């Protein structure tokens, strides 16, 4: 045993768990923890300019490295500033250890500086209850080692996610004789294995299918199950579609890739999942955009399609669609068991010779022709579709690209080919604006020798652009491509599409009715980045070449077309956007009048 303060216990636990960085902003609520970081080099301290960015940075790091980081914040506002980042990690299943400062145990409830205490003493943890996988507030230093052990076990097993440990100021500074056990002594090791009989049932369904299809979600990425996924697809001849979180799990230049399904999917993806007689879904929760808001016959027709669903989280199986076979298992273990069963009990299909593959190939080529037509535009300012084509043509095959929300997120997902896992990083179910700029720093820390590009809209960029200062401070040569259309134009476009162009409101940056924007390139140069502004299609690639050659943080501001509908790309599925009754009645009346005129 060794005598340590609470702060020292935290640092020792982080080092023992292999956490390389603790990210955050110190304050009076974390003085004891901050002091314990001095004089050791096993856990490096990274500063950010906003606590939300600390969690996003840790999020990006984990997605590439597979190693969680710790985030630390002071009491009150510092802790509350992490909430968006924690919620984003919770929805996407990303483990992050968040350490927040709080009132001394003997002062709780007195209203110390920045304490939240009217409903309950030192009550900031209540804010995290719906967005963290688990929360703790150890009230003595003796309880801290066990708390940290449980925190790591919770966030790294089962369906992963963020956890919060709230540290009273005196617990950080008090000392006790403690013993820190190795992680393997208190955490289960190994995947959740599938039930063999259920694997046999699923195998028989796939072996007898005429039009099988596979949906791969983020669980395939989390379990690193891409080799098993590819082997299964090639054995059965089943086309593979991926969700937004699953993009990259299957190489999109593979002849069996059908890209995506849902409202932001592809025509071929929707057709193949809709018409499948047997559908295997792995590591996906069937969210509304992936399913075209569950509208029967748009993306899925379950039933009559027979669904096999493999997921680590039993609550997801049968939640949104009835299952023929539901299998609780780690995606890699489940897919691997299916491959083994099929190899032992079923003859591989020479899919390249089958009529079904000819159908898949035709649908795939039709979609690619649509993308090529969008990408061929010479319009000035450049369209986002042409910008994406220029970016994809320039970037390395294993380049890591991050997106947050809006048209650039949807269109990169829909139109850009991704070839390798963990190269498409995006804020998935929470679609968190402000995520890309700091998350890209985490990705670059995890992959210093690879191209890392943040593709972001101007509204998104401005939410966390202060983290360019962090990029410059730590010399992290991320390249940001900012598609500047002077507004949150994805929302304006949605308003126009759902309610009519004249109903768009509150989503454009205007002064006197004309678009207004800061000079984002000049702003970026002020932070110390290399930066330039372009607007024509033929200017994009040379600007990228200069940005990556600079070997320092760089920003390419691209003025893009903002006029609807060239500002985006058409939805291929359906998304449930409610329309006010008075607008629906007005539209119905208009349609009746048009019909009478005809």
CATH number reported for the structural domain that contains residue 154 in this entry: 3.40.50.970
Tens-place pLDDT, residues 119-158: 998 899 999 999 999 999 999 999 999 999 999 999 999 9
Beta bridge partners of 366: none
Residue 566: Cβ within 10 Å count: 16
Find the mean pLDDT for residues 243-258: 97
Q: How many domains does the chain have?
A: 3
Q: Could you tell me the two tokens for 190?
A: 């190994």
Sheet bearing 70-73, strands edge to edge: 44-47, 21-24, 70-73, 97-102, 163-168, 134-136
The confidence score (pLDDT) of residue 590 equals 66
Beta carbons of 433 and 404 less than 8 angstroms apart: yes
- Domain membership of residue 142 (yes or no) is yes
Q: Are residues 13 and 129 in the same domain?
A: yes
Q: Are residues 229 and 179 in the same domain?
A: no
Start-to-end CA distance of the chain, whole Å, equals 88
Whether 393 has a pLDDT exceeding 90, the answer reads: yes
Q: Are residues 348 and 411 in the same domain?
A: no
CA separation for the pair 466, 131 (Å, rounded) = 25
Let me know if 267 is exposed, middle or buried by CB neighbors in 10 A (0-12, 13-18, 19+).
middle
Find the mean pLDDT for residues 370-396: 97
Find the mean pLDDT for residues 11-35: 97
Q: Could you tell me the two tokens for 528?
A: 């110390």
Confidence class for position 545, pLDDT limits 50, 70, 90: very high
Confidence class for position 597, pLDDT limits 50, 70, 90: confident
CA separation for the pair 164, 98 (Å, rounded) = 5
E-state strands within 111-268: 134-136, 163-168, 175-178, 212-216, 240-242
Domain-ending residue, one of 185, 209, 233: 185
Find the mean pLDDT for residues 244-261: 97
Beta carbons of 115 and 27 less than 8 angstroms apart: no
- Domain membership of residue 594 (yes or no) is no
CA separation for the pair 220, 7 (Å, rounded) = 37
Q: Are residues 243 and 272 in the same domain?
A: yes
Closest CA to 92 of 573, 435, 441, 464: 435
The confidence score (pLDDT) of residue 40 equals 95
Whether 502 has a pLDDT exceeding 90, the answer reads: no
E-state strands within 118-157: 134-136
Per DSSP, helices labelled H in 500-574 are: 520-527, 537-549
CA separation for the pair 295, 288 (Å, rounded) = 9
> Which residue range forms the structural domain that includes residue 26?
2-185
- Domain membership of residue 595 (yes or no) is no
Beta carbons of 248 and 420 less than 8 angstroms apart: yes
Domain-ending residue, one of 313, 343, 364: 364
Q: Are residues 179 and 255 in the same domain?
A: no
Sign of the Cα pseudo-torsion (226, 229, 233, 234, in order): positive
Q: Are residues 204 and 337 in the same domain?
A: yes
Confidence class for position 284, pLDDT limits 50, 70, 90: very high
For residues 236 and 575, which has the higher predicted lDDT (pLDDT)?
236
Confidence class for position 181, pLDDT limits 50, 70, 90: confident
Beta bridge partners of 21: 44
Percentage with pLDDT > 70 across the chain: 100
Let me know if 241 is exposed, middle or buried by CB neighbors in 10 A (0-12, 13-18, 19+).
buried
Find the mean pLDDT for residues 5-26: 97
Tens-place pLDDT, residues 441-476: 999 999 999 999 999 999 999 999 999 999 999 999
Q: Could you tell me the two tokens for 547?
A: 């940005």
Whether 428 has a pLDDT exceeding 70, the answer reads: yes
Whether 410 has a pLDDT exceeding 90, the answer reads: yes
Tens-place pLDDT, residues 186-235: 777 788 999 999 999 999 999 999 999 999 999 999 999 999 999 999 99
Read off the CATH number of the domain in which 246 is found: 3.40.50.1220
- Domain membership of residue 270 (yes or no) is yes
Whether 385 has a pLDDT exceeding 90, the answer reads: yes
Let me know if 338 is exposed, middle or buried by CB neighbors in 10 A (0-12, 13-18, 19+).
buried
CA separation for the pair 177, 4 (Å, rounded) = 6
- Domain membership of residue 190 (yes or no) is no
Tens-place pLDDT, residues 91-121: 999 999 999 999 999 988 898 988 889 999 8
Q: Are residues 175 and 208 in the same domain?
A: no
- Domain membership of residue 577 (yes or no) is no
The confidence score (pLDDT) of residue 333 equals 97
Reading phi first (left if > 0) and then psi (alpha if -120 to 50, else beta), residue 471 is in alpha
Q: Are residues 342 and 455 in the same domain?
A: no
Let me know the angle formed at the C-alpha of 255 by 251 and 260, rounded to the nearest 5 degrees. Answer: 60
DSSP secondary-structure letter at 257?
Answer: B
- Domain membership of residue 579 (yes or no) is no
Sign of the Cα pseudo-torsion (232, 233, 235, 238, in order): positive
* CA atoms within 13 Å, Cβ hemisphere of 65: 26
CA separation for the pair 487, 354 (Å, rounded) = 48
- Domain membership of residue 371 (yes or no) is no
Q: Are residues 202 and 250 in the same domain?
A: yes
In the three-class reduction of DSSP (H, G, I as helix; E, B as strand; rest coil), residue 179 is classed as coil
The confidence score (pLDDT) of residue 598 equals 66
Q: Are residues 144 and 209 in the same domain?
A: no
H/E element holding 141? none
Find the mean pLDDT for residues 230-252: 98
Whether 593 has a pLDDT exceeding 80, the answer reads: no
Q: Are residues 410 and 497 in the same domain?
A: yes
The confidence score (pLDDT) of residue 104 equals 92
Q: Are residues 281 and 154 in the same domain?
A: no
């Amino acid at each position: 045993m060794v005598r340590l303060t609470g702060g020292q216990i935290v640092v020792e636990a982080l080092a023992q768990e292999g956490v390389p960085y603790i990210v955050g902003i110190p304050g009076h609520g974390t003085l004891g923890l901050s002091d314990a970081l001095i004089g050791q080099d096993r856990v490096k301290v990274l500063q950010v300019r906003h606590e939300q960015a600390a969690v996003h940075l840790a999020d990006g790091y984990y997605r590439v490295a597979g190693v969680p980081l710790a985030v630390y914040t002071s009491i009150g506002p510092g802790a509350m500033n992490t909430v968006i980042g924690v919620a984003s990690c919770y929805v996407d299943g990303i483990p992050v250890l968040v350490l927040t400062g709080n009132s001394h145990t003997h002062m709780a409830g007195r209203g110390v500086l920045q304490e939240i205490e009217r409903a309950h003493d030192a009550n900031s943890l209540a804010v995290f209850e719906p967005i963290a996988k688990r929360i703790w507030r150890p009230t003595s230093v003796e309880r801290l080692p066990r708390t940290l052990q449980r925190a790591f076990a919770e966030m790294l097993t089962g369906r992963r996610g963020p956890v919060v440990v709230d540290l009273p100021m005196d617990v950080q500074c008090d000392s006790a004789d403690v013993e820190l056990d190795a992680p393997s002594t208190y955490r289960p090791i190994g995947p959740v294995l599938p039930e063999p009989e259920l694997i046999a049932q699923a195998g028989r369904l796939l072996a007898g299918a005429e039009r099988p299809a596979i949906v791969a979600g983020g669980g395939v990425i989390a379990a690193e199950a891409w080799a098993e996924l590819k082997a299964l697809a090639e054995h059965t001849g089943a086309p593979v579609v991926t969700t937004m979180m699953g993009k990259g799990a299957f190489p999109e230049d593979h002849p069996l890739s059908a890209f995506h399904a849902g409202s932001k999917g592809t025509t071929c993806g929707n057709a193949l999942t809709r018409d499948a007689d047997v559908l295997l879904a792995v590591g996906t929760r069937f969210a509304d955009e992936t399913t075209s808001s569950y509208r029967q016959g748009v993306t899925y027709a379950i039933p009559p399609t027979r669904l096999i669903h493999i997921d680590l989280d039993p609550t997801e199986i049968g939640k949104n669609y009835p299952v023929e076979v539901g299998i609780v298992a780690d995606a890699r273990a489940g897919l691997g068991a299916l491959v083994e069963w099929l190899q032992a009990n079923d003859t591989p299909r020479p899919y390249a010779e089958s009529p079904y593959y000819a159908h898949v190939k035709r649908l795939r080529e039709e979609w690619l022709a649509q993308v090529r037509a969008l990408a061929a535009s010479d319009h000035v300012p450049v369209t986002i579709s042409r910008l994406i084509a220029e970016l994809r043509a320039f970037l390395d095959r294993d380049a890591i690209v991050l997106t947050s929300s809006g048209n650039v997120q949807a269109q990169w997902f829909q139109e850009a080919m991704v070839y390798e896992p963990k190269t498409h990083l995006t804020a998935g179910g929470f679609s968190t604006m402000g995520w890309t700029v700091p998350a890209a720093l985490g990705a670059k820390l995890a992959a210093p020798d690879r191209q890392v590009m943040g593709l972001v809209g101007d509204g998104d960029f401005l939410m966390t652009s202060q983290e360019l200062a962090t990029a410059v401070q730590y010399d992290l040569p991320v390249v940001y491509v900012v598609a500047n259309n002077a507004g949150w134009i994805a929302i304006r476009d949605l308003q126009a599409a759902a309610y009519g162009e004249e109903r768009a409101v509150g989503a454009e940056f205007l002064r006197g009715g004309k678009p207004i924007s800061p000079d984002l390139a000049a702003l970026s140069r002020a932070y110390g980045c290399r930066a330039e502004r372009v607007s024509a299609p033929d200017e994009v690639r040379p600007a990228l070449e200069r940005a990556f050659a600079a070997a320092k943080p760089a920003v390419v501001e691209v003025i893009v077309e903002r006029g609807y509908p060239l500002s985006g790309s058409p939805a291929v599925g359906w998304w449930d956007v409610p329309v006010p009754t008075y607008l629906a009645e007005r539209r119905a009346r208009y349609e009746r009048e048009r019909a009478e005129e005809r």
